[in-house]
């Protein structure tokens, strides 16, 4: 599996995420890690699910989502290394979709997935993503209602940065 390495100055900081958002982004990073390292590092993404009290069904749903992302992503996958302080574009899309699904905004989540994934994958992944969002909520991991999606925040920051070069100095 290939992942892209791009400058991440316009993507949200991990420290700006809430606990549910951080949980999903970190789980995605740990899920991808064995594919990046031939020897592995002994970290298992399922341990976080067990520690959070989530069921095995949640682990299976998350695994299906991640496998579907890898198999059908348009272009290269942008999931960052565990130590990166910024959220990757695909991590942001995943968090946004799960948040929309928890808020019962299924049509918005489908529209978001359509931009992010091939249409067939979107149809296949909608059910496990919906179930995973439900299981996260049942486990107490409830996404906040944001006025603007995380991915849109990154895009608006990038636009603003073009007009204010001084912002590069503080970032």
Assigned domain for 57 exists:
yes
Assigned domain for 11 exists:
no
Choose among 171, 18, 36, 11: nearest CA to 90: 11
Contact between 12 and 92 under an 8 Å Cβ cutoff? The reply is yes
Q: In the structure, what pLDDT confidence band is assigned to residue 39 with cuts at 50, 70 and 90? A: low
Say what the pTM is: 0.79
Q: Tokens 């302080």 map to which residue?
A: 85
Residue 49 backbone class (left: φ over 0; alpha: ψ -120 to 50; beta: rest): alpha
Query: Can you give the residue range of the structural domain that contains 157?
Result: 16-170
Q: What is the domain count for the chain? A: 1
The predicted-structure confidence for 67-109, as pLDDT tens digits, reads as follows 988 888 767 788 998 889 989 888 988 999 999 999 999 888 8
Assigned domain for 102 exists:
yes
SS3 content of the chain, % helix, strand, coil (to 5): 65, 5, 35
Assigned domain for 6 exists:
no
């Amino acid at each position: 599996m290939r992942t892209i390495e791009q400058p991440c100055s316009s993507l949200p900081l991990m420290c700006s995420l809430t606990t549910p958002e951080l949980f999903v982004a970190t789980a995605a990073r740990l899920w991808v890690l064995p594919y990046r390292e031939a020897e592995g590092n002994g970290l298992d993404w399922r341990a976080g699910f067990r520690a959070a009290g989530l069921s095995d069904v949640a682990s299976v749903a998350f695994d299906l989502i991640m496998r579907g992302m890898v198999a059908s992503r348009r272009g290269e996958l942008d999931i960052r290394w565990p130590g990166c302080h910024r959220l990757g574009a695909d991590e942001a899309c995943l968090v946004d979709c799960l948040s929309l699904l928890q808020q019962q905004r299924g049509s918005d989540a489908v529209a978001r997935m359509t931009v992010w994934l091939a249409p067939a994958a979107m149809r296949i992944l909608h059910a496990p993503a919906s179930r995973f969002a439900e299981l996260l909520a049942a486990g107490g991991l409830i996404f906040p209602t944001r006025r603007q999606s995380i991915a849109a925040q990154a895009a608006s920051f990038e636009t603003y940065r073009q007009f204010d070069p001084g912002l590069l100095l503080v970032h």
